[in-house]
Structure 1
Amino acid sequence: MNSEADLIVPDWPAPDCVWAMSTTRSGGFSLPPWDSFNLGGHVGDDPAHVEKNRLRLAELTHLPRSDFRFMDQVHGTDIEEFPGPERVQADGCVTSQARVPCLVMTADCLPVLFCNRDGNRVAAAHAGWRGLCQGVLECAVARFDDPASVMAWLGPAIGPRQFEVGAEVRERFVERDPEAARAFVPGQSRGRFLADLYQLARQRLQTAGVTQISGGYWCTFSDADRFFSYRRDGVSGRMASLIFIDPSR
């Protein structure tokens, strides 16, 4: 195993019964280029190494491995109620049941974790630019009774100085919300823009009624020692961001 797991624990005002974290690339069993804590089973890594990493994740959370569901993420807006089937195609999950982990995997896309003020409902969403533009975060917030009671944490994603996109991406966001233009600045190439996923997510969440928003200050692309990045490396592992309710805490 490659060193101890380097875990990111959210600094946010969640209730004590809510347990959340993001993994990094350290602390697992995979070999390069997936070294070492790769949790993605669809990226070409040895399946035996992936399963050892998933078992390690279960140990870190003190939850049974059988309770974990790793969704097939498709850059859409579907939010699945957990516990659910063994295999599900969705880009978010939500639960009110204790000790049921909601988990998304990323390697540049934005993971967003949610809980309500009472700590009796949690969710996780995978927000690449497509899902973010189509409303995956709004769909997650809609699965709570009161958006004003929801708090969100923005996990590790590609930063605003590295995420260059075409003009058509900017146009799609601005068509939905003119304020989105503030999250884009001209890139180095003509007709290209640097996009701030964190700012776009904050705008969408605030419009949906969420005012308590934390996190959002990493760059997976720039920190190769700590994070996987698909855009940087092409062949890359996947990190997990997860959240669950633990009444014993």
Structure 2
Amino acid sequence: MFSWRAEVRPGVWVAFTNVAAGNLALHVGDDPAAVHRRREELEQAAGLGYRHFRFMNQIHGNTVAVFAGSPASAVGAAAPTAGAPTADAMVSDGQPLAVMVADCVPIVLVGESAAGGPAAPLLGVVHAGRPGMAAGVVPAAVARMRALGAENIGAWIGPSICGSCYEVPEGMRADVAALVPAAWCTTSQGTPGLDLPAGVRSQLAADGVAIEYSGGCTREDGELFSYRRDARTGRFAGLIWTGAAE
């Protein structure tokens, strides 16, 4: 069910699912009842009890939805709809969060806040596809966490398509690299490419965020969903939640 899972800070868990957990997205033509059942099974496996993972309606933008101390607000553009925010990043002061991908970069963030008492975790997830990375969704999420008082932020980068596999037109490479130079690359076939993980890592490093884990390539790993490998495919998830040590 999990391609990687760890207690990354005391009482804070990060995980990335695989095909064994099944498709977790409602927008790919799957049976909604089956998707909800898989999400419930995932919550049971994570030991959430009565809590639920927050999912997003992801649109490749830079909106950050916030669930901290008050009703949810979305920062950047769209407002929450149908019980899930239309956003490409979320931040919470404890609510479990989920981000779905099938080649885009899933990023999980954890920061500590000492405001008003003992340090408590601030949690974040980011969906960083090519448009979102270029639009600055990663620094937007980090900035929002810091605005809420987060310190010592760490990042866990899940599996995504690698630069060797992500071929794009030359003009697209030039446009993206003009905004995120580290994303410029050449594929294993010698064609223009984009290295999304490298671009994301450069944005996190520029913001002083420590990168504590980085996953492999979705296109090369048959245990993960990949849109570039299989156009009709599901979505796996990056997850963060709080709970007792196991």
| TM-score bracket relative to the smaller structure | 0.7 to 0.9
Unaligned runs of 5+ in 2: 73-79, 113-118
Aligned position for 1:134: 135
- Alignment equivalent of 1:227, drawn from 205, 210, 224: 224
TM normalised by structure 2 equals 0.83
Letter in 1 for 2:89: G
Q: What amino acid maps onto 1:138 in structure 2?
A: P
Displaced runs of 4 or more, over 3 A: 186-189
> Residue 241 of structure 2 aligns to which amino acid in structure 1?
F
- Structure 1 CA distance, aligned partners of 2:109 and 2:39? 22
**Aligned-pair CA distance for 1:209:** 2.1
Instruction: Report the counterpart of residue 216 of structure 1 in structure 2.
Output: 214
* TM-superposition CA deviations, 1:111-162 (whole Å, max 9, x none): 0000114552010000001101110100110022277621111101112211
* Contact preservation (8 Å) 1:109, 1:126: yes
Specify the alignment match of 2:206 in structure 1. 207
- Report the RMSD for the aligned CA atoms in angstroms: 2.2
Kept in 2, the 8 Å contact 1:58–1:64? The answer is yes
Per-residue deviation, 1:81: 0.9
Secondary structure of 1:42 counterpart: coil
Tell me the residue number matched to 1:9. Answer: 5
Offset, 1:215:
2.5
- Whole-angstrom distance in 2 between the partners of 1:79 and 1:162: 29
Return the letter of the residue paired with 2:186.
V
| 1:123 and 2:121 matched | no
Query: For residues 147 and 130 of structure 1, do their structure 2 counterparts lie closer, same or farther at Cα, with a shift above 3 Å needed?
Result: farther
Unaligned 5+ segments in structure 1 are 28-36
**Percentage of identical aligned residues:** 34
What TM-score does the superposition give when structure 1 sets the normalisation length? 0.82
CA shift in 2, pair 1:149/1:66, >3 Å: closer
Aligned equivalents of 2:42 and 2:12: distance in 1? 17
Per-residue CA deviations over 1:40-61 (Å, capped at 9, x if unaligned) read 1110112222121111111111
Kept in 1, the 8 Å contact 2:164–2:188? The answer is: no
- Contact conserved, 2:165 with 2:188, CA < 8 A, in 1? no
Secondary structure of the corresponding residue to residue 63 of structure 1: coil
1:196 maps to a residue whose letter is D
Match runs of 1:30-179 below 5 Å: 37-64=22-49, 67-82=52-67, 84=72, 86-97=83-94, 100-117=95-112, 118-145=119-146, 149-177=152-180, 179=181
The reply to whether residue 180 of structure 1 matches residue 176 of structure 2 is no
Contact 1:103 1:243 in 2 (8 A): yes
What is the CA–CA distance in structure 1 between the aligned matches of 2:51 and 2:132, rounded to whole Å?
28
Q: Check the 8 A contact 2:173/2:193 in 1, yes or no.
A: no
- Deviation, structure 1 residue 64: 4.6
8 Å CA contact 1:187, 1:193 repeated in 2 = no
Contact 1:75 1:130 in 2 (8 A): yes
Aligned to 1:143, what secondary structure does the other structure show?
helix
Give the count of matched residue pairs: 225
Counterpart amino acid of residue 8 in structure 1:
W
- The one-letter amino acid of 1:125's match is V
CA separation of 1:79 and 1:70: change in aligned 2, threshold 3 A: same
Question: Which letter maps to 1:242?
Answer: L
Residues in 2 aligned to 1:139 and 1:43: alpha-carbon distance in whole angstroms: 27
